């Protein structure tokens, strides 16, 4: 049973993953490049826990903060039984992380990526004992979403799948195990919808607000696709679509030019304060 977990990347996903692990009484070491980012992640965790308790979604006696330690030194995850990488959606960055983890961690530690789209098989090829590599695709916001899309590469051992599935249950989440294909299942279906919504705005058929209103009121979406794109991060949406276009060789995945322009202009959605909507920081 996994009791010590390392999380690499303290952005919105790494913070959320750390929070749910700590709430399940698992010791977590959270790593990022900057101390500022780690401080923000801790403050977000504290605020999120308070809100969950206020709403009765977390028992008052749960105190996860002592389970979390933060560091800018990746070597601190050396004694973890599982390390979850949740850094920026960029294959070269992730490759460098797994190459370092291969040196740092014990040879039987499970190495997992929270990637939205990148081949788990290609990441597995970097490490010794690739049977311990797996995709654990948490959903955003992590404390509220009940699914973990688990991705098994060809090399992934069944005991690795079993360990991650058991951990998912302890987190109160449902693991659905799928094969390793570009963007897996959720994003393979979701991102073309977001891309099409952006094209509708780009061509002037409707405003972002109208698109989201139509899809929530008319199609029963809990949240409009453009509000969701802002929440995911427009840079992450673009990376996923770029990868799908290149790897699936299908023009329907070609990112809308407006999406690329917004990313170039640093309009990344909630995390930068402006995307299709404006946000108070």
Q: Residues interacting with ligand NAD, by CB under 6 A?
A: 8-14, 31-33, 37, 86-89, 93, 97, 114-116, 137-138, 140, 232-233, 236, 271
Residues in Cβ contact with 108 at an 8 Å cutoff, skipping those fewer than 6 apart: 129, 132
Closer residue to ligand NAD in complex, CB, 58/151: 151
Place of tokens 């990441």: 123
112 within 8 A of 135, measured Cβ to Cβ:
yes
Active-site annotation holds for 116: yes
Active-site annotation holds for 63: no
What is the DSSP pairing of strand 147-152 with strand 133-138? antiparallel
CB half-sphere exposure, 162, CA atoms < 13 A: 4
Phi–psi pair at 160, nearest 5 degrees: -70, -45
Active-site annotation holds for 103: no
Smallest gap, in angstroms, from Cβ of residue 230 to ligand NAD? 10
Residue whose beta carbon is closest to ligand NAD: 11
Place of tokens 């403050």: 43
Active-site annotation holds for 187: yes
Among candidate residues 113, 116, 168, 239, the one labeled active-site is 116
Closer residue to ligand NAD in complex, CB, 115/119: 115
Smallest gap, in angstroms, from Cβ of residue 30 to ligand NAD? 10
Smallest gap, in angstroms, from Cβ of residue 228 to ligand NAD? 8
Q: How far is CA 169 from CA 103, 185, 228, in A?
A: 30, 20, 26
Tokens linked to 260: 């690329």
Cα separation, 221 vs 223, whole angstroms: 5
197 within 8 A of 229, measured Cβ to Cβ:
yes
Smallest gap, in angstroms, from Cβ of residue 59 to ligand NAD? 26
Smallest gap, in angstroms, from Cβ of residue 205 to ligand NAD? 26
Helix (H) or strand (E) holding 225: helix 225-232
Closer residue to ligand NAD in complex, CB, 37/160: 37
Question: How many other CB atoms are found less than 10 A from the CB of residue 103?
Answer: 11
Tokens linked to 9: 């990347």
Among candidate residues 137, 168, 239, 272, the one labeled active-site is 137
Among candidate residues 117, 168, 187, 272, the one labeled active-site is 187
Helix then strand then coil, in percent of the chain rounded to 5, is 50, 15, 35
Closer residue to ligand NAD in complex, CB, 81/89: 89
Closer residue to ligand NAD in complex, CB, 77/163: 77
Closer residue to ligand NAD in complex, CB, 7/211: 7
Cα separation, 140 vs 116, whole angstroms: 11
Rounded to the nearest angstrom, the gap between the alpha carbon of residue 273 and the centroid of all alpha carbons in its chain is: 19
Smallest gap, in angstroms, from Cβ of residue 41 to ligand NAD? 8
Among candidate residues 149, 152, 195, 272, the one labeled active-site is 149
Q: Which residues belong to the active site?
A: 116, 137, 149, 187
């Amino acid at each position: 049973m996994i009791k010590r977990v390392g999380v690499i990347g303290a952005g919105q996903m790494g913070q959320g993953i750390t929070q749910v692990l700590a709430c399940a009484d698992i010791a977590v070491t959270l790593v990022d490049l900057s101390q500022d980012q780690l401080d923000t992640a801790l403050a977000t965790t504290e605020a999120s826990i308070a809100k969950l308790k206020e709403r009765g979604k977390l028992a008052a006696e749960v105190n996860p903060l002592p389970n979390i330690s933060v560091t800018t030194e990746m070597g601190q995850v050396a004694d973890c039984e599982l390390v979850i990488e949740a850094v920026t959606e960029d294959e070269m960055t992730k490759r460098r992380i797994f190459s370092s983890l291969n040196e740092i961690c014990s040879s039987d530690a499970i190495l997992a990526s929270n990637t939205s789209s990148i081949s788990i098989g290609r990441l597995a090829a970097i490490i010794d004992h690739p049977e311990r590599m797996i995709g654990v695709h948490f959903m955003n916001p992590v404390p509220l979403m009940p699914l973990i899309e688990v991705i098994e590469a060809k090399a992934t051992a069944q005991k690795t799948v079993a360990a991650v599935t058991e951990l998912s249950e302890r987190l109160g989440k449902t693991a659905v195990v799928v094969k390793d294909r570009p963007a897996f299942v959720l994003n393979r279906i979701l991102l073309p919808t977001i891309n099409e919504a952006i094209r509708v705005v780009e061509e002037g058929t409707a405003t972002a607000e109208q698109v989201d209103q139509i899809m929530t009121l008319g199609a029963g979406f809990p949240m409009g696709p453009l509000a969701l794109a802002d929440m995911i991060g427009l840079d992450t949406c673009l990376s996923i679509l770029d990868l799908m276009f290149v790897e699936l060789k299908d023009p329907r995945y070609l990112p809308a030019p407006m999406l690329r322009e917004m990313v170039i202009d640093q309009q990344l959605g909630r995390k930068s304060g402006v995307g299709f909507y404006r946000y108070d920081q």
